[in-house]
Every structure is written in C-alpha cells, then in structure tokens.
Amino acid sequence: MESSEDKKMVETIHCSFVAPNEETPKQRLWLSNLDTVMRPDYYTPIIYLYIPPEGKCNADAEEFFSVTTIEKALATTLVPFYPLAGRFGTDGDGRLEINCNGEGALFVVARSKLTRHHFNDFKPSTENKNLFVPVVDSDRAVPLLPLLMIQMTYLSCGSVVLGLAFNHCVVDAHSDFHFMQALANIAKGNSSIVPAPSINRTLLRARSPPLSPSKSQACAAHTKSESLGHTSKTISPPFVSTILKLSQCQINCLKSQRSSNKSTDSAAISTFQAVSAHIWKVFCVARGLAHDKESRLIFSIGIRSRMSPPLPEYFFGNGCTSGEATARVSEVIGFIPERIREAIGQVDDAFIRAYIDYLEVTDRDSVMNSMTMTESDILVTSWLGMPCYDADFRYGKPAFVSRAEGHYGIAVLINNPGKDKGISVAIELDEETMELFKNAFYDFN
C-alpha cells in the first residue's frame, strides 16, 4: 500500500490510457505454458533514471523529457507490440489468453520533490515501487488489468524517472528491454531500426500427446519463486534489499578460483557461474546452515537459443525456464561454479520440451506446490548481456537502471553502465541474514 508520506513525495498530474495509433489485429492470442505458470497479477517493475545534460535548468525539465513526445512514441510502439495494449481473457476451456483489443497501456505523469540523489543508495523496495511505478489495484478483476503501465516522474532537480510495470504473464525481461529499445528509438525518430517482435507463441506448444517427463526433468525445471510468497516458516520479516557492486577485477578473481575439491576440470568459468557460486556460498554462510544440509541454487535461464530450432531472436513472450544446482552446504562453501555449469548444460531442447509437457499435464495447484523454496534455497536471475542501458530517448542513456522492488531470496544480476565492466547484485533477505551477507560478500578467500 502507498503511504501518505509517499503521496507527499510524488504528485500525479496526468493519467490516461494510450492506445496504438494505427489499427492492430483484433485477435485472441494464445499464451504458452511458460506464460501461464506466472500469476496474472504479477508485474516486473523496472525504473530508469535520466539526468539532463549540463546547463539544463530545472525549468527545462519538460523540454528535457517531453510528455507529448513520449506519449506519441508509446502510441506508435504499441502498433507492432500490440499485445501489450490488450487485456486478459479466457478461452472456452477457461485458459488465460490475451484479448488484443487495443484498449491501451496506462500512462502516468507525475512530479516529485525528490532529486536524483535519492538513487545514490537506491534499494529495491515496495516503497520505491509505489513512488515511481504505477501500482495496479489488487481488487481489480483480471480481465481489467492493463498489461503495461508507465510512469514519467519529473524530479525537482530536473532529472526524470521512467517507471514501467510489464505483466510477467505476457513478457520476460528479454522482451521488456526489446520494447524499451523500440520505444526509445521511435521517440527520437529512428523507427526504421526497430526490430519487429515475433508474436507467435505456438512454437512453445506442448507435444501432442504430451510426453510424460521423468521425475528429474520435471523437478529440475519448474521453480519460479516470483509466484511464491514467503515460503519458509523459519524466515520472518522485515525483509530488506540492497545492491552490491562487483568490479571487473573482483569478477576476474572469482572466475580464476576453482572449487576446493581440486577438480581437474579446466573449462572456463563464466561470469554468471562465478558470481552465482559466490552468492550461493555467501548465502549459506550468512544463513548459518549446517554443513551437512542440502542447499539449492535455482537460476533462471533463457531458452531462445537452446531450443531446436532456436526461437526467433526477438520472440515476444516468456522465453525462459529455471534450472537448479544442488549440493551439501560444505560443498557450496568450498565454491562450486562447475556444479552450476553442469546444471546449465542440462537445459537443452529435450529438457525444455519435458518441462512444457509437464506443465500441460499437471494442475496449477500441484505446480505451485512444487515451486516451494526453503530456508536453504536461493534464486539468481540474470539480466547480464541484456540491453538494459540502451534506451536512449535522445537525451543520453540512463544513469541508473534497476528493478524497483525485490523479492525474498532472489538475487538479480545486471551489468553496470558505461565503461564500467562490473556488475550489480540486487538481493532481498531478512534483516539478520542481510547484515551477515553484506559482511561476507567481499571476502573472496
């Protein structure tokens, strides 16, 4: 809920629905099993901070980011990305689908007394989401939910915050950033260089008949903790978020390490594998888990290039699944990026098809029950390599990009902007664990 203090800091001055400015297909769009495993009221909230060029005074804020320009660009962008202008519906069997009716995306303009310095020590939180991202009414019926919501907030220093909420049943982060690239290019008149999204989701249909997946395939691929609440009774609020930065030198240090089992495996360790193994290790230490306890690292993984044939590069939808690595805590503390690499290697076309078939034959309640995380589990989702900082609306690239809100037990990896080759780790934990986690995070021994 938005507090009265939040309302004092941000004032809404305009609110409307922006529809596509050309006729778009009026159709019902089938959603894949990877889409419908998400809750229909779950959104990915992302914020972008834009700082005006030197010499721009506060009075020029709306010239720096013109409402008219952004609103017109949104209407144009929603033509090829027309599913985001629709609403949810159901087919004859009650299955969720998109009613591509062109009703439009929610567009909000606001002013705030805050300055860009608010982002110097930014922490993803419900409070920050409520400030900068439109929040859907929790009582609103599913068919009335806008699938995209955008808020432009003019700060008192002349900077601008773009806050977006993408419905996760409709798109994943890969598609979120594709949309933002398109919106920015159209806003500055470069519509010809915008790659069109591939709307066809039937590429992810289950086989007919669905093949019964093995227990290992079914259990290893279907943990989506965004769909969960707080699942372990041993963990209690308050929960706190933080963003911890790793330099390129620190990442290289992690990548050069090998696990304490003295493995002879000499294959290169990726940045994701090294940083995820480090997060897993530090989490187990911070939680004080017994060395003989089993722990899971769950990770999101893109499937676009892992399917045979590959999905189109600009496939528009949910093109990711989950994998997991499991080990005793004593092994995790020994640093085991190789275990993560092995788990990633299992996510191939057969693995993905087995998961899609599993979702086809399993009722939703059973799927949700199978997604439970325990006190010894942690999830890492990666935005590494995604064009997070490419949304230049003619005013320069964003100075800061982040999820607006965190979720317990989830770490999000994102590249740092500009020439900085480091990465940022946004994570939410309970207060006690977080203090211990931060204390141990920069210990690379």
How far, in Å, CA of 77 to CA of 179, rounded?
Answer: 8
How far, in Å, CA of 3 to CA of 387, rounded?
Answer: 33
Contact 382, 423 (CB under 8 A): no
User: What angle in degrees, to the nearest 10, is found between the helix axes of 431-441 and 271-287?
Assistant: 130
Query: Is residue 392 annotated as a catalytic residue, yes or no?
Result: yes
DSSP labels for 421-444? --EEEEEEEEHHHHHHHHHHHT--
How far, in Å, CA of 224 to CA of 95, rounded?
Answer: 20
* Chain mean position to CA 428: 14
CA–CA distance from 319 to each of 156, 286, 300, 393 (Å)?
39, 33, 10, 27
Considering 168, 174, 278, 407, which one is annotated as catalytic?
A: 168
CA–CA distance from 194 to each of 103, 391, 398 (Å)?
23, 12, 19
Contact 428, 239 (CB under 8 A): yes
Residue 412: strand pairing partners: 381, 426
Residues 6+ apart with CB under 8 A from 26: 100, 101, 102
Per the listing, tokens 């290169």 go with 268
Query: Is residue 420 annotated as a catalytic residue, yes or no?
Result: no
DSSP assignment, residue 143? G
How far, in Å, CA of 434 to CA of 441, rounded?
Answer: 10
CB contact burial 209-232 (16+ within 10 A = b; e otherwise):
ebbebeeebbebbbbbbbebeeee
By annotation, the residues acting in catalysis are 168, 392
